[in-house]
Structure 1
Amino acid sequence: MKLPGPPRTRLLALATLVMVLPMAARALLGWSNPLGYLSDLALGSLLVLLLHRRPWWLALPLLLAWGGLWIASAELVSAVGRLPVAADLGYLFDPQFMENSTGGGFAHAWLGLSLGAGLLVWALSRWRARGQRQARLPYKAWAIPAVLFGAHWCSQQLAPSDAEQWRQYNLPHQALSAGVGELQRRAEGWLGQPAAPTPLPTAGLTQHDLTGQRLLAAPGKARNLLVITLEGIPGAYLRPNRQALHSRFDDDPMPNLGRWAERGMNTPDYVLHTHQTIRGLYAMLCGDYDKLANGTPKGMELLTQQQRNQACLPAQLRQAGFTTHYLQGAGLRFMAKDRIMPHIGFESVHGLEWFKQDNYLAFPWGKDDRAFFEGALDYVGQLQQQDRPWMLTLLTVGTHQPYSAPADYLARHATAKQAAVAYLDDAIGAFLDNLERQGVLKDTLVVVTSDESHGIDGVRLASSWGFNLTLAPDQAQLPHIKQGTYGHIDLATSLLDYFNLPIPVALGGRSLFRTYDSGREMISYTNGMLRYHDGQGVFTECDFQQRCRRYASQGFIADRAKYLGPADSSLGQQIDTLATTLDQSLLHTPLNLRYQFGGPSAIQLQARINDDWADNLIGAQYLEMPEGSRTRVRVKVRALDPQHAAYIRLIAKEREQDVPLGLPEEIRVTAAEPLEMEFGFDNPTVRKAFSFHLLGYGGGEVEVSDFSVITALPGEEEPLEDFADSQAEQSS
């Protein structure tokens, strides 16, 4: 390969890598938007100026990181329809997580190959120009990125775009803009800006509302309750929802579920409040908004409560005489579902270990959907044989990336994601058909919904668009389309209302089994956007810089909405303050940051550690520690099998980056020599997305009887012994 003029080629190769390739990739990915191209040119020109004369050992790591962010953006947008946030970036550098999430490959492998080829050409050009003096670029060239960044900023201020963030920004530019915005807000605080605006009222979001007229003349006819939660499925996938909202999305990826939706009650304007499974489950089962930003999931915070958990739907139904059951297709320990689910009232909680039948295809996260629903059908059959009414909540995992599907499905669909959705559609269609054939639907209320939305490129609000399909024995008294705005906040209240059971004061939401004459407030935080509907026809959407746009929209989810113009800064502050208030509904002081992730159950060890995520022995993930606090941890592990020694390793990660704790690399544990360890660390700044990974191997079983985590401000510490004793008393 002959490269003319080494010094000039070096500059040309760098410009091609950081400016031409990103814009070409944007076009090929279908992200075309003038602001996106402007963002790529601005960042690319800045990189050219920064790296043109820098030594290779300084330029190469920066270019590798830049390329990694581009690949991360493409993969996450393809998988779940959003750009990475800071908490996601560490996943890129965790090979085990990436292998599970991508199935060993990438959705856009060509992008990595293209960037790699561009990087190689740049490296060759530098090698050819070694020893030759590089001309200094004129100082006035720095005006180019300044003008480009300025033009982007001005366009956003004068005419904000409602296009998805990945169409308007590349990831480094977005992070830079967010940092500048945060610095500006802090500076305003230091300079003593005017008093904060009047806070928005919270009553409409936090209190339940049963003022509507009942749809059913008497308590529902159903004896049992089945809640089916489908991983990541948007509301647009159901035909009645698309038709009711006149959606321009005209694909039909789930015709079998759509066939059942034609027979049930559908709620097209159904809002998902956040991303992440544990947050969706908490909202739908406990009638409360989870964190409308990053932070410790409220399900984990609930572990510190001994009253609020009793208001959750499973606990209420259990008090009413139901047997309550939870079954998911993955392991339970990640995100502490092995502890959260019993705590909110499920008396039987099962994960991957419950299933005896083999998978139909290899899937790294657990059961494929066909195998899962076949097992779930057996579980329902067992429940039908008992005398008491039952509640069963199901959670699938098959439509989590890497979207595994059989070869014949992959051959019929353009992407693995579409194939996985089709495989799920066939599996749940067969499951519902079998329930009807066996007579289960005659006395069982069935609710089909999703935990979160993996989004749909080009569909407005797809990341917040959920669905609620209700199949009831008294279906004739229910409308086919349920008018009004609803969301996961309403599910627990709705189901208790159906069974004519008391609604705890702590639950929020309206009942899906009532009609209301007035609108209602609704809020959600997905895809980095904080969205609020005031219940009076105005929908506001605020981005990561608290720039807000106002729309005229009767409901929350709509295919189109009339743009009313930008909102003033005070409204953005009001909505942000409202979200912060809702985030603090459970914990009001750092003194409550006390967690116990240990328990008496036996845990089977693998012969070796395969995965930091799947093999985690505890569920202490995504914790938040306040600035200036100190965290103390106590761990007790013992081997249950005298014939096997266990080898235990404890690592910590903040935003998935390893945090050195000064602990031994590996600790040998036996029945006669258990592990007992205490340590602590300071939190000079706020820590978010902090996770403990307790790993073990060696065969046999172990018991993690104690994994206490207490975070407190100086002078307010509680002895670990007192905390452990109180937890033991509560669990006994």
Structure 2
Amino acid sequence: MSALFNRLRRPSARLFSLTLLVLIVPVCLRAALGWSTPLGYLSDLAIGSLLIVLLHRRAWWLALPVLLFWGLLAVATAELVSAVGRLPTPSDIHYLIDPQFVENSTGGGLAHPALGLTLLLALLFWLLTQVTARGTPNPALPRALWSAPLVLFAAHWGVQNLWPSEADPWRAYNLPHQLMASEVADLQIRAEEWLDGDVEEPAPAMTGLTDVDLNGQKLLAAPAQARNVLIIALEGIPGAYIRANRVAIGSHYQEDLMPNLSRWAERGMNTPDYVLHTHQTIRGLYAMLCGDYDKLNNGTPKGVEMLTLNERNQACLPAQLREHGFSTHYLQGAGLRFMAKDKIMPHIGFDVTHGLEWFTNSNYLEFPWGKDDKAFFEGALDYVGQLKKQKKPWMLTLLTVGTHQPYSAPEDYLERYETPKQAAVGYLDDALEQFLSGLERQGVLKDTLVVITSDESHGIDGVRLASSWGFNLTLAPEHEQLPRLNKGVYGHVDLSTSILDYFDLPVPSALSGRSLFRDYDTGREIMSFTNGKLRYHNGQGIFAECDMPRRCRYYESAGFIAESATYKGNYSGHPARQIAARANALDLSLLRTPLNHRYQFGSTNVIPLQAQINNDWADNLIGAQYLEMPKGSHTRVRLTVRSVDPQQTAYIQLKAKEFEQDVQIGLPSEMVATPEQPLQMNFSFDNPQERKAFSFHLLGYGLGAVEVTDFSVVTELPGQEDLFEEVPEDETAQSS
């Protein structure tokens, strides 16, 4: 024992333990995770050697917080890549270190628990050597080692610039290195722009992105045989899960997680090069149902912005079909209030909007967001049966939630698949098969245009552009006349135009995009913003991928989604600014500024309370999520919550989050509301820096139910406080 103690006291033991922690373990973990690339190992060595140089002679109490944060980033990176197939961005750091968010997102478990355990053991070993050798001086490192980080970083930079890798970012970078590289590149670009001086950038041409294009040759010569429309949006499913898409793109990805859907795809028209423009369900639904790009950044979703407008919403697909005699219906397997779908869906033209409250059938498994996929599709089949009884043609949009984090599946599926995510996808595939077969038995497929797609993509590790790769499977009565593979580049922005074109209905000029039911002999412009990268295809064989806002790489690529593309070079300056300008112009298609718009998220709906709050997201009582607040602005909020049950007290919490991380703005920890004395609040806060993805979470528990009759939010510049009528001073928050 004494011999071991003496060995631990040696300076070499401390250096070895630090080297083990920051160099050897990360390299081994990279190999174990399957992220092996020369650039990735080079990045790990560069960051590890930098930590050794910086921390070797530091006091343990100074080095420990740095190492804890570094280790937490490593765990968070593995979890995010596993969950959604992307590397964290700086904005993600806020919530990746939030224990509550991690618990809600992972269901209380980690995808790679061994990684965290290995890092923890290595950290404890390092700490043991530090404590054991207290008072023993640490010799200086050889001077030659001080140059090692610089040489390694320079080598990585040289390889990336001379022979750029198309590998996923997490395969080519250690996260701290990637963040550092981005900051250095931004500084370089700012310096270039400063040297160029003030340059007035001409407005970019936008018609290719914003106009309706019906110049293609129609695929169907005769009028539509379908009288109804069914749109099925599958939560998070990428295009690579469809076998026909993989073959058409030439993808190396061969996991067959959705064999049933792939078999159905052989009976319909597939669009392999199908682009998802953004992340988040509400943004995907807006693009497909309203024929417009949602924000190509993290600004306020356009569906929320549209609540302040009473004209553009009439151009959305549900409103257009309703105008032409369809009854329009929306049904999802989760509660409607999150992301304000209870308000947005009726506003864009749905006659009937239902969420979790509509279902009377029981779940097959517990799932925090709502209905598991099997239970959802069983209910949806009953819903279609009810629609069949009416004389009017109908439109029904369905949204599943079972493949949302945390992924849930029955035990037998969890035993058959390697990960819960794969098991959830397999469970969805079987549930969808039963639903489609049920539609066929009922004769629905004979007179209904069925479009199966996804709201967003949860990504796939190692598959290029998987976060932007969607799918569109169209099952039409005229399936024999339609091609099995629809050539050309399409995306969610085309869906509304396509369905109106199928029925030979007029397409409003406010919509944009092409028709999936036409054959075009020219390329088209299209954009997406996923995984923190802005992507643009010019329709003429050039694909650009930009780290926002002014640094791009460009490739030769016939289409948008491709297994690989030929790297042509980097650019900043005018070409990069033009791409950013296009994205900015698309972002402003509804509102020119996020300032001075009053959002009202309250309603007279009666909301049943639960005995306790289980989830800040699924249990939210209002839809004020992912708002944008400019730098230097001032935000004011007013709310009224009333318990509707006599002699029952409702306990209310109001939380603010930015990128899912709690933000302290001086709110009470808990408040109460009764029938006689409603909770009334009127508060405000400043925005010294720009806020994006800012969410309010109004939570309640107790007996009975409540009404949130007012939840008003307005953001303005100081001095413009006349948009709210004055609230009496005695209307203050009540706290328990």
- Normalising by structure 1, report the TM-score: 0.95
Decide which of 440, 446, 456 is 2:450's aligned counterpart.
446
Q: Does 1:680 align with 2:684?
A: yes
- Structure 1 distance, partners of 2:681, 2:245, is 54
Decide which of 464, 468, 473 is 1:469's aligned counterpart.
473
Q: Does 1:176 align with 2:180?
A: yes
Deviation at 1:421, TM superposition (A): 1.4
Pair 1:237–1:675, CA change in 2 (3 A): same
Decide which of 396, 416, 422 is 2:420's aligned counterpart.
416
- Structure 1 distance, partners of 2:56, 2:12, is 11
Residues 555-566 of structure 1: pairs in structure 2 closer than 5 A:
555-566=559-570
Contact persistence 1:228–1:395 (CA under 8 A): yes
Contact persistence 2:655–2:698 (CA under 8 A): yes
The farther-off stretch of 684-693 and 588-597 is 588-597
Q: Does 1:705 align with 2:692?
A: no
Pair 1:86–1:620, CA change in 2 (3 A): farther
- Structure 1 distance, partners of 2:687, 2:73, is 28
- Structure 1 distance, partners of 2:241, 2:460, is 10
1:727 aligns with: none
1:333-389 deviation line (CA, Å, top 9, x unaligned) = 222222221221122222222222221122222211111111111111111112221
- Structure 1 distance, partners of 2:477, 2:354, is 27
Deviation at 1:430, TM superposition (A): 1.0
2:135 aligns with: 131
Pair 1:186–1:713, CA change in 2 (3 A): farther
2:733 aligns with: none
Provide the secondary structure at the position in 2 that maps to 1:370.
Answer: helix
Q: Does 1:636 align with 2:628?
A: no
Contact persistence 1:97–1:611 (CA under 8 A): no
Deviation at 1:423, TM superposition (A): 1.2
1:455-503 deviation line (CA, Å, top 9, x unaligned) = 2222222221111001111222222211111000100110111122221
1:582 aligns with: 586
- Structure 1 distance, partners of 2:659, 2:66, is 20
Deviation at 1:199, TM superposition (A): 4.8
Contact persistence 2:549–2:580 (CA under 8 A): no
Pair 1:473–1:681, CA change in 2 (3 A): same
Deviation at 1:41, TM superposition (A): 1.5
- Structure 2 distance, partners of 1:191, 1:537, is 32
Structure 2 regions of 5+ residues with no counterpart?
728-736
Decide which of 61, 68, 74 is 1:70's aligned counterpart.
74
1:601-659 deviation line (CA, Å, top 9, x unaligned) = 11111112222112111111111111111111111111111121011121212233322
Pair 1:412–1:591, CA change in 2 (3 A): closer
- Structure 2 distance, partners of 1:722, 1:216, is 59
1:432 aligns with: 436
Provide the secondary structure at the position in 2 that maps to 1:677.
Answer: strand
1:296-333 deviation line (CA, Å, top 9, x unaligned) = 22222222222112211111112222221111112222
Pair 1:551–1:179, CA change in 2 (3 A): closer
Pair 1:104–1:256, CA change in 2 (3 A): same
Contact persistence 2:278–2:528 (CA under 8 A): yes
1:660 aligns with: 664
2:732 aligns with: none
The farther-off stretch of 77-86 and 137-146 is 137-146
Residues 484-633 of structure 1: pairs in structure 2 closer than 5 A:
484-543=488-547, 546-567=550-571, 569-633=573-637
The one-letter code matched in structure 1 to 2:417 is H
1:320 aligns with: 324
Residues 342-357 of structure 1: pairs in structure 2 closer than 5 A:
342-357=346-361
Q: Does 1:53 align with 2:38?
A: no
- Structure 1 distance, partners of 2:343, 2:400, is 19
1:208 aligns with: 212
Decide which of 121, 124, 145 is 1:120's aligned counterpart.
124
What percent identity do the matched residue pairs reach? 67
Q: Compute the RMSD of aligned alpha carbons.
A: 2.1
1:41 aligns with: 45
Deviation at 1:576, TM superposition (A): 2.0
Decide which of 265, 279, 286 is 1:282's aligned counterpart.
286
- Structure 1 distance, partners of 2:624, 2:115, is 35
Deviation at 1:544, TM superposition (A): 5.2
The farther-off stretch of 447-456 and 652-661 is 652-661
- Structure 2 distance, partners of 1:596, 1:140, is 63
Contact persistence 2:189–2:572 (CA under 8 A): no
1:387 aligns with: 391
The one-letter code matched in structure 2 to 1:676 is Q
1:146-171 deviation line (CA, Å, top 9, x unaligned) = 22223222332333221111111122
Deviation at 1:424, TM superposition (A): 1.0
1:728 aligns with: none
Q: Does 1:225 align with 2:251?
A: no
Deviation at 1:716, TM superposition (A): 2.9
Pair 1:247–1:663, CA change in 2 (3 A): closer
Contact persistence 2:550–2:572 (CA under 8 A): no
Decide which of 286, 291, 295 is 1:291's aligned counterpart.
295
- Structure 1 distance, partners of 2:40, 2:226, is 52
The one-letter code matched in structure 1 to 2:329 is H
1:305 aligns with: 309
Residues 155-170 of structure 1: pairs in structure 2 closer than 5 A:
155-170=159-174
Contact persistence 2:210–2:513 (CA under 8 A): yes
Deviation at 1:196, TM superposition (A): 5.5
Contact persistence 2:216–2:521 (CA under 8 A): yes
The one-letter code matched in structure 2 to 1:506 is A
- Structure 2 distance, partners of 1:628, 1:190, is 24
The farther-off stretch of 181-190 and 509-518 is 181-190
- Structure 1 distance, partners of 2:667, 2:529, is 37
- Structure 1 distance, partners of 2:260, 2:227, is 26
Contact persistence 2:340–2:624 (CA under 8 A): yes
- Structure 2 distance, partners of 1:247, 1:214, is 29
Contact persistence 2:101–2:660 (CA under 8 A): no
The one-letter code matched in structure 2 to 1:64 is L
- Structure 2 distance, partners of 1:700, 1:175, is 49
Q: Does 1:717 align with 2:721?
A: yes
Q: Does 1:109 align with 2:104?
A: no
The one-letter code matched in structure 1 to 2:124 is L
- Structure 1 distance, partners of 2:339, 2:101, is 15
Q: Does 1:366 align with 2:370?
A: yes
- Structure 2 distance, partners of 1:344, 1:378, is 25
Deviation at 1:140, TM superposition (A): 6.0
The farther-off stretch of 89-98 and 689-698 is 89-98
Decide which of 378, 384, 396 is 2:400's aligned counterpart.
396
Pair 1:58–1:334, CA change in 2 (3 A): farther
- Structure 1 distance, partners of 2:249, 2:205, is 29
1:691 aligns with: 695
Pair 1:642–1:253, CA change in 2 (3 A): same
The one-letter code matched in structure 2 to 1:165 is P
- Structure 1 distance, partners of 2:445, 2:15, is 69
Deviation at 1:439, TM superposition (A): 0.8
Provide the secondary structure at the position in 2 that maps to 1:721.
Answer: coil
- Structure 1 distance, partners of 2:675, 2:198, is 64
Provide the secondary structure at the position in 2 that maps to 1:283.
Answer: helix
- Structure 2 distance, partners of 1:139, 1:325, is 71
Pair 1:393–1:520, CA change in 2 (3 A): same
- Structure 1 distance, partners of 2:414, 2:723, is 56
Contact persistence 1:616–1:695 (CA under 8 A): yes
Provide the secondary structure at the position in 1 that maps to 2:283.
Answer: helix
The one-letter code matched in structure 2 to 1:466 is G
Provide the secondary structure at the position in 2 that maps to 1:635.
Answer: strand
- Structure 2 distance, partners of 1:64, 1:20, is 17
- Structure 1 distance, partners of 2:76, 2:97, is 10
